[in-house]
Amino acid sequence: APRGTRTRRTDHTRRTDRTHRTAGARAVHVRAGRLLAAGVLAALAAAGFAAPATALGPAPVPATTDAGTPAVTWSVRPGTPDGPDGRLSLRHVLDPGASVDDAVVLDNLGDRAATFAVYAGDGTLSEGGDFDLPPGGSTPADGGAWVTLGDVPGAERQADGALRVTLDPGARATVPVTVTVPADATPGDHPAGVVAELVTGDTVRLAARTGVRLHLRVTGEVTAALAPQDVEAHWEPSWNPFAPGTVHVRYRVANTGDVRLAARTVAELAGPGGVGAAEHRAELREVLPGQSAWVEGDLRVWPVVRAAGHVDTRPWVVGDDVVDAALRTGSASVVVWAVPWSQLALLVVVVGGVVLVRWRRRRTAALVQSRVDAALAAAGVPAAAQPAGPERSATTTPAGADDAEATPAVPVARTDTA
């Protein structure tokens, strides 16, 4: 079997429709380049597939249904009427109004006949950052609308321009692909792709497909820029007063230029005077023009009441792309209130404990003094003879009892006068 074949089977009950956050379309993943996939010809709906644009799949592994039904394995690769030519994707640079002819090769690698729907679509990205196309039946509005599929012997052409191709086991079909750029097309990248989707019966189409990515660039002056947008920051305090809290940061990295770019992002936060600085870094393999990708991260930040900082996006060129334009960075400010709730709670407990201890001490002293006063009163000591204040002794000598000893007599000199 050809190198790079991959099989994929997912039970219908497990199928999930993943929504692309920026394009809003439910996408079934499309592997770019030399892609080989396996679908299950039964009442199974296979989930989408995804891989980096330059990845090569492993050797083919036959997929089987739970009941042991033989699987269908197929591949779509760039090629010529003579067969696959080793390219990983379709890549063209065209002037406005120009056109180019190319082809993809569809192989049925299974041991039973199968029918495939072959169509083109606009490129987008999945939630995981992988290249996608919208599901079959979607109307392309950009690069996918510029692709026309040529006639294939024995194939049925659909109203939307798609082809329905039936192949016997081991059979191959070459699908001509013509790209025609409108005269008013804007410069830059217009991603698209061509996929082959497994079809069963007359109306049931399984969400299992594989395809070839189309890198299409229109000549002209381009802009390469990324910008952070819709920045959100949420403070989550730690219940441990001796540990920092967490700031959850979420933002979109928008490609505001004309060419696809990869991104390095950094979110930084710090308190007044740079106290408690923290940062979160991330990388995006690819952001398509006019689209965006979400980034989420956590920063460990001490409760400094008010933490401020910024989110920066730094673009860089993807793979072997050529970008004849300055790479423009982007930045957005972010502020979050990091109230030290746990520290305030600890302070309340400490202050409350100090107040309680002092109150108990005063209460105990007052109780002891009241008992002393009661004992003195029982002993017949006049209240006026008792010393005032907390310095009064537990044993008080009655006034006048020992005046002679307490105050020695002072002799008075007498002078006789004549």
DSSP 3-state assignment of 182?
coil
Pick the CATH number of 224-339 from 3.40.50.300, 2.60.40.10, 3.20.20.70, 1.10.10.10: 2.60.40.10
Q: How far apart are CA 61 and CA 158, in angstroms?
A: 32
User: Would you state the pLDDT for residue 7?
Assistant: 35
User: Would you state the pLDDT for residue 384?
Assistant: 59
DSSP 3-state assignment of 204?
strand
Closest CA to 49 of 164, 196, 186: 196
CA distances from 385 to 139, 208, 364 (A): 107, 105, 24
224-236: strand order across its sheet: 292-301, 245-255, 224-236, 327-328
Q: What is the CATH number of domain 12-218?
A: 2.60.40.10
Phi, psi dihedrals of residue 365, rounded to the nearest 5°: -60, -40
Phi, psi dihedrals of residue 385, rounded to the nearest 5°: -85, -10
According to DSSP, the residues that pair with 210 across neighbouring strands are 196
Instruction: Please report where in the chains the tokens 């109780």 appear, as a residue.
Output: 367
Asked if residue 269 lies in contact with residue 307, where contact means CB atoms within 8 angstroms, the answer is: yes
pLDDT in tens, the chain (418 residues): 343 333 333 333 333 333 333 333 333 344 433 333 433 333 333 333 333 333 323 333 332 333 445 578 899 999 999 999 999 999 999 999 999 999 999 999 988 999 999 999 999 998 888 898 998 888 999 999 999 999 999 999 999 999 999 999 999 999 999 999 999 999 999 999 999 999 876 554 445 888 999 999 999 999 999 999 999 999 998 888 888 999 999 999 999 999 999 999 999 999 998 988 999 999 999 999 999 999 999 999 998 889 999 999 999 999 889 999 999 999 999 999 987 766 566 667 778 788 888 888 888 888 888 888 888 888 877 765 555 555 554 444 444 444 444 445 445 445 444 4
Asked if residue 135 lies in contact with residue 124, where contact means CB atoms within 8 angstroms, the answer is: no
Phi, psi dihedrals of residue 324, rounded to the nearest 5°: -95, 60
According to DSSP, the residues that pair with 263 across neighbouring strands are 284, 315
Q: How far apart are CA 192 and CA 133, in angstroms?
A: 8
User: Would you state the pLDDT for residue 338?
Assistant: 82
Phi, psi dihedrals of residue 139, rounded to the nearest 5°: -90, 115
Closest CA to 63 of 49, 77, 46: 46
The answer to whether the predicted template modeling score (pTM) of the entire model surpasses 0.95 is no
